[in-house]
């Protein structure tokens, strides 16, 4: 266990559904990240939050909406997704965002299937 | 566009052999380098990081960094079947956002 938890672990949703992914870290970190991992592709950074403030939106479609109510919790709200959005969604955290020596710790991921 | 390249594999080695995984990167300003191991269906797990040129050893793992040639490698000595996984290389430069490679699949056969 890395100290980063994600729920649900698996999610199947239709294109018209609305769902949310939740991430919680118990490491006292100040930075949190959402990544998308698709088969045969590198990890794709989606969003970065530092001290609850969004510092990076990597050209993510608006059907993905992040929320960070505090430094320990991160949500990803999903609506009107497409089948190509099916992937493993990973949350990660680090002490800080800046600093070349910061390391990220990943949660177990949510396996999402959009039908 | 910052790029991190890895051979997707699979790299197949016999148990007890040395597995050598390589990673090249395009951003000369890169400062820190990470190796993650990802078992099938699981999340990435940090196993090594290196910042300075040369070798860094941790148990059976050795990371090697050559900034002039822009490559970083991971050696796994005495490979075990439990080392079978995908190994992700991540590179962090002036931007604080790490760039990940596609990963190399390693198979250690008994």
- Spell out the residues 6+ positions from residue A59 whose beta carbon is closer than 8 angstroms to its own: none
Query: A21 near A36, Cβ under 8 Å?
Result: no
| Residues A14-50 pLDDT 10s | 988 899 999 999 999 999 999 999 987 889 999 999 8
Q: What is the pLDDT of residue A2?
A: 73
Question: Using beta carbons and an 8 Å cutoff, which residues of B are at the interface with A?
Answer: 4, 8, 31-32, 34, 36, 41-46, 49, 51, 88, 90, 92-93, 96-103
> Among partner residues B31, B34, B102, which is closest to A41 by beta-carbon distance?
B102
| Residues B20-46 pLDDT 10s | 999 999 988 888 999 999 998 889 999
3-state secondary structure at position B41: coil
């Amino acid at each position: 266990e890395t100290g980063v938890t994600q729920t649900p672990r698996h999610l199947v949703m239709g294109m018209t559904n609305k769902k949310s992914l939740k991430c919680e870290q118990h490491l006292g970190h100040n930075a949190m990240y959402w990544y998308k991992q698709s088969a045969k592709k590198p990890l794709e950074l989606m969003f970065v939050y530092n001290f609850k403030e969004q510092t990076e939106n990597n050209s993510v479609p608006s059907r993905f909406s992040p929320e960070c109510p505090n430094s320990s919790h991160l949500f990803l709200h999903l609506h009107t997704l497409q089948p190509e959005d099916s992937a493993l969604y990973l949350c990660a955290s680090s002490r800080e965002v800046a600093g070349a020596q910061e390391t990220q710790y990943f949660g177990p991921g949510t396996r999402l299937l959009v039908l | 566009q910052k790029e991190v390249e890895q051979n997707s594999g699979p790299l197949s080695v016999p148990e007890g052999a040395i597995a050598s995984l390589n990673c090249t990167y395009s951003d000369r300003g890169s400062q820190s380098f990470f190796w993650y191991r990802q078992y099938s269906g699981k999340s990435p797990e940090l196993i090594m990081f290196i910042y300075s040129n040369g070798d860094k050893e941790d148990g059976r793992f050795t990371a090697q960094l050559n900034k002039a040639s822009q490559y970083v490698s991971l050696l796994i000595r005495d490979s075990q079947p439990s080392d079978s996984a995908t190994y992700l290389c991540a590179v962090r430069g002036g931007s604080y956002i790490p760039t990940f490679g596609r990963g190399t699949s390693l198979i250690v056969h008994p």
